[in-house]
Amino acid sequence: MAITESVAKAAPVAGRSLRQVVWSRVRHDKVAMTCLVILILLYLIAIFAPLICKVIGVDPYAFDGASISDSGGAPIGDWGGISRAHPLGVEWGTGRDILAQLLFGLRISLLIATSATIITVFLGTVIGIVSGYAGGRTDAVIGRSMDLILAFPFLLIILALSGVLTQRLSSLGVPEGNPSRILYMILVLSVFGWPYLARIVRGQVLSMREREYVEAAIAMGARTPRILFREILPNLWAPILVYATLTLPTYIATEAALSFLGIGVLPPDTSFGAMLANSVSYFSVVPSYLFIPGVVLVVLVVTFNLVGDAVRDALDPRSGRV
Amino acid sequence: MSSYVVRRVLSMLLLLLLLSLVVFILFSILPTDPARLTCGKSCTPEIIEANRHRLGLDLPVFQQYWEFLKGLFVGRTYAANSPDPINCSAPCLGYSFRRGEEVLILIKDGLPTTIWLALGAFVFWMVAGISLGVYAAIRRGTWRDKTVMGVGLVGYSLPSFFIGLLAIFFIIIKWNLLPYPSWVPPQEDPVGFLQTMILPWIILAILYAAFYMRLTRNQMLEVLGEDYIRTARAKGLPERTVIGKHALRAGLTPIVTAAGLDLAGLLGGAIIIESLFSLPGIGSLAITSVNDADLPVIVGITLVTATFIIVANLIVDLLYAAIDPRVRLG
Amino acid sequence: MGIAKKGAGVVVIGAAAALVLSACGGGSSSSSSSGGSEAKAGGTLYYLANAEQFDQIDPQRIYTGEDLAFFSGTIYRTLTSYKFSADPTEGTSVVPDLATDTGTATNGAKTWAFTIRDGATFQDGNPITCADVAYGVSRTFATDVITGGPTYAISMLDIPDDPAGGSAYKGPYVGTGQELFDKAVTCSSDNKTITFNLKRPVPDFNYTTTLLAFSPVPKAADTGEKYGDAPVASGPYMIQENKNGKGGKMVLVRNPKWDKASDDYRPALPDSWEVDYGIDPKVIDQRLIKSAGVDATAIDLTVEPENLSVVYVNPNEAQPQFAGRAVSALDPYVRYFAINTKKVPNLKIRQAIAVALDREALRKNAGGDFSGDYADGVIKPNMGADYAPTGMWDTLLGQKIPDAGDPEYAKKLISESGEAAPTITFDYPQSPTADKAAAIVVSSLGKAGITAKPNPIEPGQYYGIVFDPEKAHELINAGWGPDWPNASTIIPELFTPSGGFNLSQYDNAEYTAASDAAKIETDRAKQAKMWQDLNTQAMKDVVVVPTRFGRTQRLAGTQVNQSQVYLWPAYGSWPYGAMSAN
Amino acid sequence: MSDSTRSFLDVRDLTVSFPTEGGLVHAVEGVSFSIERGETLAIVGESGSGKSVSAQAIMGLINRKAAQISGEVWVNGKDIVAMSDDDVRKMRGSEMAMIFQDPMSSLHPFYKIGAQLSEAVRVHQQVSKADAKAQAVDMLGRVGIPDPKSRADTYPHQLSGGMRQRVMIAMALINSPSLLIADEPTTALDVTVQAQILELIASLQQEFDTAVVLITHDLGIVADVADNVAVMYGGRLVERANVDDIFYRAQMPYTLGLLSSVPRLDQVTSDRLDPIPGNPPSPINLPPGCVFQPRCSYSHLVGGTTCEMKRPELLQINADHFVRCHLDEAERVRISTEVTHVLHGGGA
């Protein structure tokens, strides 16, 4: 969705001292701080997922035939066979541990969303600055290509091209299988994501070009790259930060949606989306298949959004609470 | 003004041309061989070759593209040399051998459902989003504002396929409040239509509503700080008029812009929702075609959707000019 | 009839059911035919389908068991058909349909003659003649237009091959070699008796003629590629409307020109049939379980795993409230993993793969005993004489192999193979369930040191890709069922170069020769023994790893006459032609 | 109907403060003044001195939820502070009107000016659209807009700044209010236009016999149009007198500072001109004593720490001259004459 507006609004002219102001504002926002802590925890959990699984004694790949019925393959016990051995129950038909799958899913989800965000921000910033500063034909060309990209039904394109492009990646030397698939996800998300940020940045740059310090720099005969990245970039971090913090959660959701539609990681690995897709066949009997990954996913996204909001408000009190 | 529109339309066509070319090149690298797909298990290389030729797949990509373009304007004939050539009259978006149907017709069949879905959701989210946004803005800082915004944030964070599944699980399976969704056109069975559409509408609307609520609130807060609002108050206008007329009108413009584009995007089909609720719209058509590697259909949908968005861009700009006299077209 | 065809459902919800949905076949029907009231005429039967369309409606192109059963029971007549019966042998016995008898073989079964009944007409009222049947058969040869259908006519009729490939006869549209065809298929002067001259003896040719590929088509009405859009009915029903896709439906109404007197094969009791396309499998289940309103006379093709325990006590017994309308029976399919012998030439390695595979986990994932029994070959027990245990898991692989696989022994085999532990890719049509199966393949092979990479393929494109020698990988998920109860429709198709379903790309001259010999063996008992040996031989050579003799579950509404609620062995389908509403 | 004892506009001990994160902001504290119809009162002071807040308080434009307002504001015998929001609203634009500083942003960009005027009419009078439109056009003519009929159908952005301010004035006066508050009506305009606007206001004031409160920081304007002057500093009224007293007999050091910071054409040498050192106080933490003390160059003349510690009272010097200062009268007069003498070119 056209997140641009809200972010553009949220982007005040960044003064040097703003950094501290923002931090202090965020620090005084209890909700934001709680979320920040949760996020850090989530990242730690993701990073140390294998270790944690060992400690709890669960394994996302181990098939536990004993935990499922021999006829129909339904998990034995309520709520998907929740037991001491399987705190969140087991998968229908295979007896794989749900908790372990969640932890590893979190890992993949965060990996994709985070890297995609980083790339998006990089692309958006650089292209935005260039197009805003260079103006003229460059600007026009970039503008057109943005229109082009934004006009694509990106979900459809991503789905349609996943197969072939993943193969291309492997043929380009990326290890076959999940590495290529994950990379594909990261790339497509970034490719369809950068224009929004680029537009914002471009706008900022346009307004900034006329500013004294830039003109001064030009007058002093500074070289363009220097002006771009020494004078202008430092003053863009505010909108960029806001955009990044609000984009990450949308990427998490999108990634889930994509793997729900079946272009996620390959088995035996799994992800939130895949788990939810799998739950469809069983949830009228085993609702927990639906609730557990779903709730985790929502919590993840909400937490990110809360932090994003806090940052935005900190940067732009007008948009936030008085 | 009119010259502006002409210029815009021209650049629009150019963009579409470019887009169609990109789409063509993108899909020309797909691995599955449509010719292979048209021939069953008893298949010899000769047959595949023959089919490939009949579908014009043995031509170089750019020639295929040219054929496609020509088809758009003068229509085209497939398998011309076979006993039963397939005529696809202009504008010919291509022909799905998989489904034995013209792409345009397939899309036309799906469009009503998708339009109903999109429009319904649109109404829901605009009403909810704007009213709540205005409310929050007026009550800014109060606990009401905070609650509304909080709810909005959660709504904004709910993946639509998850709430979709939740809705199916609770409302349909557990509580039997609604029958299983099965699409019927409103004119045939209004009740069944509503029963089928209500959930998709709401679920599709939630995400957007949350977004528009935030957008509206920000807009209103900004506008309410404007001098001319103070002027309006100084005139002695009742607060109702000040908010409902002066402030809203000024705050609405960017919202209209976003809404136009989002609606256009939805007309391209809401893949997830349509699939979840098995609505025979463009989105379902798209996903099925992807699964079947039904290239002509995918290309067709991509182009149609893109057209919607690009046209919407133009309309929105014109609208913008209509709303804000300061905007000069050209 | 390969699981090859039949459209997959929506990936989001339908894919899970795609494979099961296309399941269809023969086998003993269990919890069914428990009396039920007398069959009555009238009413409408509803066929709730997840698929969004029939693959083919053109008679010469239909090749899916369920579809063959449906259309031959309703709108198309063929020279011969299968008896409507739940009994494995009766249900697969040939009876006359459009022909006055089941055909007369002469010249050592190289010449077959059928006489068409009087009074049989098309929906336009024109009498069905020998010429119409001959024309229908001739369409099969237009392989560039009439695609997807069975090609037995091409391989059996006495028409020389074209050195450039295919048959010398190029079908009625091009007309090249028409005279050759007219020599092979001749009509009597009264245009009533049709004679087929065959390349080789085909003792069971009258089984072949049950295929719709041998049904009549009036030349005047043939529109080639698009004939399926408006086919001319010869059976008791005709197509009133057909709209594909979600929410679409096909409506069959009585064919006014159909004369009961000319057709003692089809009771044709219901007044009409309605096929509702693109319904979500969960929805189909719920509707049939409730069986309310029109759903009382509805039928489906599958029961979702989550509802198995709702409907059944165990695979052989339905819950009381579903007794008589729930079917659970062996379908005609054998589920197996084909091993690409071109990519995995080393027998020891193939053995190692077979040995390492955890078939128990796979079966559990597919639904445990609901999904069928462990398979020991590609010929199923319900094939009667052609089946004999191959002992694949007891002796063929050198020692007894547990259902859960034997990684250690697999390692041993690999070390004997003189090759490094292989890295293989596993092709399968994607669905959540199949993904889990892939996970099982990966990990169980992994235990034996074999690196397996899953390669999910969109169901709709699956066979298009795996049939392409460049694109097919080492291990290919597949399923196959016979076209009629003779392994001549299994062994040659799966294990010889000329076979249409040779995913293993198996090319063993000796084996092919033996298979060809078996094909033309006229002594059925001898032939059966030959098939048994070839089956065992293929398993010994681990051309495929058979995983399951498939089983299928399906439901009929409460008001569907229960005397016809059974799995028809002929096609492992509903006995459409015989079904009726109470 | 105003009773004889009370002036037409009578502000008594008006105090406005806003609670914020940083604490209570005392924007206006204990301000009192009064004015009759036909008169002009100028409120002068630096930005942040509380001029505009007082004005908005009088107009009842300050959101009572967001601010604490105390004191009395009698307009035509009715106390704004005590009235309900809606009653005040009814008075706004009819009995009292306001002109704002920036005509560029004070008109709604989306509505034609004619519409904006007639809207103002229709809120307060039961007249048909047509009549309202007619009044609007007529009013536009009276504020000197050429070809008012066609201009009524133009949008604000199509007019020059001066024209827009005329429109604002027209809008303010269209219901012939008896009180007009002009908040820096000319600061945004260039000098030539300034004069025209001021004349316009003056002439209309004659015509409608309006009481005008002119808020400005430009003493030049004050000299031209004001009858009385109120000097504000740090939210307080520091001196109030008729215009002559202010210009020739001002006694508050701040007032004198203001006077001496005005550039004068007849002043040959600009070196005499000495602006007030330092910055206005932050309204959040005002000095405990005299708010001007930190910048006052005379506070040393007051013994001890009186200026730092003690809030000065508002002393009455004569009938209409009030001053808020700790200096004793003799000192004040001395300084006053000293400064004003210099200013008015007596010295050197």
Residues D188 and D333 in one domain: no
Please give the Cα distance from D143 to D171 (Å, whole number): 10
Yes or no: say if B201 and B281 are a contact pair by the CB < 8 Å rule.
Answer: no
Q: Are strands C372-374 and D236-242 parallel, antiparallel or unpaired?
A: unpaired
Residue D3 lies in a domain: no
Residues B111 and B257 in one domain: yes
Chain B: closest CA distance from residue C147 (Å): 5
Subunits close to C (at least 3 CB pairs below 8 A): A, B
Residues B80 and B217 in one domain: no
Residue A283 lies in a domain: yes
Residues D251 and D172 in one domain: no
C151 touches chain B (CB under 8 A): yes
Residues B81 and B190 in one domain: no
Chain A: closest CA distance from residue C294 (Å): 24
Yes or no: say if A243 and A195 are a contact pair by the CB < 8 Å rule.
Answer: no
Residue B329 lies in a domain: no
Residues B73 and B207 in one domain: no
Residues D163 and D25 in one domain: yes
Residue A15 has pLDDT above 90, yes or no: no
Asked if A147 lies within 8 A of B310 by C-beta distance, the reply is yes
Q: Give me the residue label for tokens 């730690």.
A: A44
pLDDT of residue B47: 65
Residue B187 lies in a domain: yes
Pick from C404, C56, D272, C247: which is nearest to B38 by CA?
A: C56
Distances (CA, A) of A195 to A149, A165, A237, B79, D219: 8, 21, 17, 42, 54
Asked if B237 lies within 8 A of D105 by C-beta distance, the reply is no
Residues B213 and B126 in one domain: yes
Asked if B301 lies within 8 A of A9 by C-beta distance, the reply is no
Please give the Cα distance from B194 to C194 (Å, whole number): 57
Residue B213 lies in a domain: yes
Q: What residue numbers bound the domain in which D334 lies?
A: 236-344
Across C87-118, b (16+ Cβ under 10 Å) vs e yields: ebeebbbbbbbbbeebbebeeebbbbbbbbbe
Residues A174 and A278 in one domain: yes
Pick from C388, C391, C393: which is nearest to C404 by CA?
A: C393
Residues B275 and B315 in one domain: yes
Q: Which of D226, D253, D278 is the last residue of a domain?
A: D226
Residues B41 and B113 in one domain: no
What's the domain count of chain B? 2
Please give the Cα distance from C207 to C448 (Å, whole number): 45
List, in order, residues 6 or more apart from A210 with CB less than 8 Å away: none
Residues D220 and D249 in one domain: no
- List the helix and strand counts (H, then E) for chain C: 16, 19
Minimum Cα–Cα distance from C276: chain B residue: B182
Subunits close to D (at least 3 CB pairs below 8 A): B
Coil, helix or strand at residue D149: helix
Residue B97 lies in a domain: no
pLDDT band at B77 (very low <50, low <70, confident <90, very high): confident
Q: What residue numbers bound the domain in which A211 lies?
A: 109-291
B221 touches chain A (CB under 8 A): yes
B144 touches chain D (CB under 8 A): no
Quote the strand ranges of D135-210, DSSP E: 179-183
Tell me what the pLDDT averaged over chain D comes to. Answer: 83
Residue A312 lies in a domain: no
Residues D315 and D180 in one domain: no
What's the domain count of chain A? 2
Of D59, D108, D172, the CB nearest to B228: D108
Residue D80 lies in a domain: yes
Q: Which residue has the higher pLDDT, A226 or C274?
A: C274
Q: Are strands C111-115 and C193-197 parallel, antiparallel or unpaired?
A: antiparallel
Residue A153 has pLDDT above 70, yes or no: yes
Asked if C4 lies within 8 A of B40 by C-beta distance, the reply is yes
Contact list, A258 vs chain C (CB under 8 Å)? none
Residues D303 and D266 in one domain: yes
Asked if C53 lies within 8 A of B99 by C-beta distance, the reply is yes
Site from B228, B239, B240 to mutate, D interface, most D CB atoms within 10 angstroms: B228
Contact list, C372 vs chain A (CB under 8 Å)? none
Site from C48, C147, C282 to mutate, B interface, most B CB atoms within 10 angstroms: C147
Supply the CATH number for residue D36's domain: 3.40.50.300
Residues on C contacting A at a C-beta cutoff of 8 Å: 11-13, 15-16, 282, 304-309, 314-315, 358, 360-361, 364-370, 404, 430, 432-433, 435-436, 438-440, 442-443, 453-454, 456-458
Residue D2 has pLDDT above 80, yes or no: no
Minimum Cα–Cα distance from B285: chain A residue: A156
Residue B7 lies in a domain: no
Residues B184 and B297 in one domain: yes
Asked if C439 lies within 8 A of A277 by C-beta distance, the reply is no
Residues 232-261 of B with CB under 8 A from D: 232-239, 241, 246, 249-250
User: What residues pair up with D182 in beta bridges, in sequence order?
Assistant: D99, D214
Please give the Cα distance from D319 to C322 (Å, whole number): 107
Site from B41, B84, B184, B290 to mutate, C interface, most C CB atoms within 10 angstroms: B41
Q: Tell me what the mean pLDDT of segment A72-101 comes to.
A: 83
Q: Which of B48, B69, B92 is the last residue of a domain?
A: B92
What's the pTM?
0.81
What's the domain count of chain D? 2
Residue A72 lies in a domain: no
Q: Which of B92, B126, B160 is the last residue of a domain?
A: B92
pLDDT band at D8 (very low <50, low <70, confident <90, very high): confident
Tell me what the pLDDT averaged over chain A comes to. Answer: 81
Q: Tell me what the mean pLDDT of segment B259-265 comes to.
A: 87
Chain D: closest CA distance from residue B146 (Å): 17
pLDDT of residue C32: 39
Residues A147 and A213 in one domain: yes
Asked if C500 lies within 8 A of B32 by C-beta distance, the reply is no
User: What residues pair up with C374 in beta bridges, in sequence order?
Assistant: C548
Residues B85 and B120 in one domain: no
Residues D210 and D67 in one domain: yes
Residue A6 has pLDDT above 70, yes or no: no
| Angular region, B60: left φ>0, alpha ψ -120 to 50, beta rest | beta
Residues D191 and D252 in one domain: no
Supply the CATH number for residue A257's domain: 1.10.3720.10
pLDDT of residue D275: 65
* Amino acid in position C175: G
Of C52, C149, C283, the CB nearest to B40: C149
Please give the Cα distance from C40 to C321 (Å, whole number): 23
Contact list, B175 vs chain C (CB under 8 Å)? none
* Amino acid in position C511: Y
Chain B: closest CA distance from residue D13 (Å): 23
| Angular region, B24: left φ>0, alpha ψ -120 to 50, beta rest | alpha
Of A72, A93, A262, the CB nearest to C436: A93
Q: Tell me what the mean pLDDT of segment D142-170 comes to.
A: 88
First to last CA, chain A: 27
Residues D122 and D248 in one domain: no
Residues D170 and D108 in one domain: yes
Q: What residue numbers bound the domain in which B42 lies?
A: 32-92
Residues B192 and B83 in one domain: no
Q: Does the bond joining B85 to the residue before it have cis omega, within 30 degrees of 0?
A: no
Supply the CATH number for residue B240's domain: 1.10.3720.10
Of D123, D157, D168, the CB nearest to B237: D123
Pick from C265, C244, C267, C241: which is nearest to C253 by CA?
A: C241
Give me the count of residues in chain A.
322
Q: Which of B92, B124, B141 is the last residue of a domain?
A: B92
Minimum Cα–Cα distance from B32: chain C residue: C465
Of B230, B237, B325, the CB nearest to D61: B230
pLDDT tens for each residue of chain C, 582 residues long: 434 333 222 222 222 222 222 333 333 333 334 344 566 788 999 999 988 888 889 999 888 888 999 999 999 999 999 999 988 888 888 999 999 999 999 998 899 999 999 999 999 999 999 999 999 999 999 887 887 788 888 889 999 988 877 788 988 988 888 999 999 999 999 999 999 999 988 888 999 999 999 999 999 999 887 898 899 999 999 999 998 877 789 999 999 999 889 998 999 999 999 999 888 888 888 889 988 888 999 999 988 888 888 898 888 888 889 988 999 988 888 999 999 999 999 999 999 999 999 999 999 888 888 888 999 999 988 787 889 999 999 999 989 999 999 999 999 999 999 889 999 999 998 888 888 899 999 999 999 999 999 988 887 778 778 887 878 899 999 988 888 888 988 999 899 988 878 899 999 999 999 999 998 888 888 999 999 999 999 999 999 999 999 898 999 999 999 888 999 988 889 999 999 998
In sign, the C-alpha dihedral spanning A299, A302, A304, A306 is negative
Quote the strand ranges of C31-130, DSSP E: 44-48, 80-82, 94-96, 104-106, 111-115
Pick from B175, B170, B163, B184: which is nearest to B276 by CA?
A: B163
C306 touches chain B (CB under 8 A): no
Residues A152 and A41 in one domain: no
Domains for chain C: give ranges and CATH numbers: 64-225 (3.40.190.10), 330-551 (3.10.105.10)
Q: Tell me what the mean pLDDT of segment A235-241 comes to.
A: 79
Pick from D227, D249, D262: which is nearest to D322 by CA?
A: D249
Of A71, A94, A266, the CB nearest to C365: A94
Asked if A177 lies within 8 A of C15 by C-beta distance, the reply is no
Quote the strand ranges of D86-210, DSSP E: 96-99, 179-183
Residues B57 and B147 in one domain: no
Please give the Cα distance from C415 to C273 (Å, whole number): 60
Residues D241 and D201 in one domain: no
What digits encode the pLDDT tens for the residues C274-305? Answer: 999 888 888 888 889 988 888 999 999 988 88
Please give the Cα distance from C366 to B15 (Å, whole number): 49
Minimum Cα–Cα distance from A176: chain C residue: C453
